[in-house]
Amino acid sequence: MPRFYPEPSFSHQLPSKVGVLLVNLGSPDAPTAQAVRPYLKQFLSDPRVVEIPKPIWWMILNGIILNVRPKKSAAKYASIWTKEGSPLRVWTEKQAKLLKGYLGERYPSQLTIDYAMRYGNPSIESQIRKLKEQNCQQLLVVPMYPQYAASTTASVFDEVARVMQKTRFQPGLRIMSPYFDQPAYIKALAQSVRDDWMNNGRGDHLLMSFHGVPKYTLEKGDPYFCHAQKTGRLLAEELGLTKEQYTVAFQSRFGKAEWLKPYTSEVLVQLAGKKMGKLDVICPGFAADCLETLEEIAMEGREDYHAAGGGVYRYIPCLNDHTLWISGLAELVSVELTGWLTNGKCAKNEKSMLEQRDSRARAFGLQK
Ligand SMILES: C=CC1=C(C)c2cc3[nH]c(cc4nc(cc5[nH]c(cc1n2)c(C)c5CCC(=O)O)C(CCC(=O)O)=C4C)c(C)c3C=C
Ligand SMILES: [Fe+2]
Ligand SMILES: [Fe+2]
């Protein structure tokens, strides 16, 4: 019997292209209260981030937080903003470009690498659409958070699933596992500390400050606390530090509930009281520098430490574009791509999937 409709797809006959999407948290478009407000609204309306029952939270969020916080938050953003924009977005974009340099050579024309932000721009939805238009039939989403937390990693899953729900022809999909204990990440972290020691001298204590989450999330089964502790221990082992030479702590408390302890702000006061020579501070839970590291730790933390009588305070930057980190990320991504990039064929001159669909539809007289 003749078929008068387009086949569901003939693209399986073509060598497929793989899209890799690095995803980080996101920033406002500008360091102004007007730009921070919609960003915070989107961020803090995510039920993965704030787990308070919706009717109560909506009153607090719309009645208080969105009236007070944007102005304060904008001033903080203004203190770290660069000519190119938010450091988090700028670093993430650079990481995607550098990764393309590494993996593009290994898999010419088979890979498209880009980045997206969970909140703000460029959105996960717009970037997935872009990758599909570039003929990507497989998609690897890489949440850039080393430690898994429902408020970050699961929220990326949720958003990807929301986008897929609206998609008729869905790509093959993988979401990279958290890499909190992967040698590629631990070794890069350790080398970034050694580099800093080489240039600026070695500190007497290493404070590892991770972003906090409410304590109830741990009680509900979130692995974030354990992942952070393990990263801390592995980094200390790699650097040959004894238990007395480092501390794991949690920063960025939000609201009145109890968060993971010890709080970085309290540890800084305790360490200042010990009158040690020099304190090194690193934020291993962030793959790129951002508001939480550059303002809260490098600026505010230093002031708090000095105010409590502490001496020399050195902030060690995040992994950002460290060579060992980009090669490490390439290794982590390559493992996930196994099976998708084996035939070595090149999709260089293929038409995009949408062009193919349209020409097939035209051939069947279904489109002008
Ligand atoms: C309200 C609860 C929050 C939870 C839970 C939370 C978890 C969490 N966040 C990050 C990483 C980042 N957070 C950043 C900023 C930021 N975080 C919160 C609140 C929670 N985070 C707020 C309100 C803000 C915005 C700034 C402010 O007003 O204070 C950032 C920086 C973004 C940037 O533009 O630079 C990052 C990164 C993790 C890893 C995490 C859970 C583990
Ligand atoms: Fe946060
Ligand atoms: Fe903060």
pLDDT in tens, 185-210: 999 999 999 999 999 999 999 999 99
DSSP H or E segment with residue 174: strand 172-175
d(CA 288, CA 191): 16
**Is the CB of residue 92 below 6 angstroms from any atom belonging to ligand 1?**
no
Looking at the CA of residue 44, tell me the nearest atom of ligand 1. Answer: 1
Higher-confidence residue: 109 or 100? 100
User: Which residue's CA lies nearest to atom 38 of ligand 1?
Assistant: 211
d(CA 259, ligand 3 centre) in Å:
13
**Is the CB of residue 285 below 6 angstroms from any atom belonging to ligand 1?**
yes
d(CA 285, CA 60): 29
d(CA 220, ligand 3 centre) in Å:
24
**Is the CB of residue 292 below 6 angstroms from any atom belonging to ligand 1?**
yes
d(CA 104, ligand 2 centre) in Å:
32
Which tens digit of pLDDT belongs to each residue from 256-284?
899 999 999 999 999 999 988 899 999 99
Lowest mean pLDDT among 4-13, 153-162, 248-257, 348-357: 4-13
Q: Output phi, psi for 54, to 5 deg.
A: -50, -50
For residue 12, the model assigns a pLDDT of 47
Mutate to test the pocket of ligand 1, among 292, 296, 297, 300 (most ligand atoms within 8 A of CB): 292
**Is the CB of residue 50 below 6 angstroms from any atom belonging to ligand 1?**
yes
All residues at 6 or more sequence positions from 364 whose CB lies less than 8 Å from its CB, including other chains: 4, 5, 6
d(CA 137, CA 131): 9
**Is the CB of residue 73 below 6 angstroms from any atom belonging to ligand 1?**
yes
**Is the CB of residue 120 below 6 angstroms from any atom belonging to ligand 1?**
no
**Is the CB of residue 206 below 6 angstroms from any atom belonging to ligand 1?**
no
Tokens of 311: 């001496």
Query: pLDDT-based confidence at 357, cuts 50/70/90?
Result: low
Higher-confidence residue: 318 or 108? 318
292 appears as a binding residue in the annotation:
yes
Four-way CATH pick for 183-316: 2.40.160.20, 3.40.80.10, 3.40.50.1400, 3.40.50.1240:
3.40.50.1400
Which tens digit of pLDDT belongs to each residue from 211-226?
999 999 999 999 999 9
Q: Where are the domains of the chain?
A: 183-316
**Is the CB of residue 88 below 6 angstroms from any atom belonging to ligand 1?**
yes
Which tens digit of pLDDT belongs to each residue from 54-79?
999 999 999 999 999 999 999 999 99
Lowest mean pLDDT among 31-35, 36-40, 83-87, 336-340: 336-340
**Is the CB of residue 99 below 6 angstroms from any atom belonging to ligand 1?**
no
Residue at 300: amino acid letter: E
Query: pLDDT-based confidence at 356, cuts 50/70/90?
Result: low
303 appears as a binding residue in the annotation:
no
Looking at the CA of residue 27, tell me the nearest atom of ligand 1. Answer: 34
d(CA 282, ligand 1 centre) in Å:
17
d(CA 25, ligand 1 centre) in Å:
8
**Is the CB of residue 353 below 6 angstroms from any atom belonging to ligand 1?**
no
DSSP H or E segment with residue 140: strand 136-143
Looking at the CA of residue 294, tell me the nearest atom of ligand 1. Answer: 35
Alpha carbons within 13 angstroms on the beta-carbon side of residue 254 total 17
d(CA 127, ligand 2 centre) in Å:
22
Longest dimension (CA), the chain: 87
Over 90: is that where the pLDDT of 336 sits?
yes
Residue at 327: amino acid letter: S
Looking at the CA of residue 88, tell me the nearest atom of ligand 1. Answer: 35
DSSP H or E segment with residue 205: strand 205-211
Collapsed DSSP state (helix, strand, coil) of residue 238: helix
Q: Are 291 and 80 in contact (CB under 8 A)?
A: yes
| Sign of the C-alpha dihedral computed for residues 333, 334, 337 and 343 taken in this order | positive
Q: Are 57 and 257 in contact (CB under 8 A)?
A: no
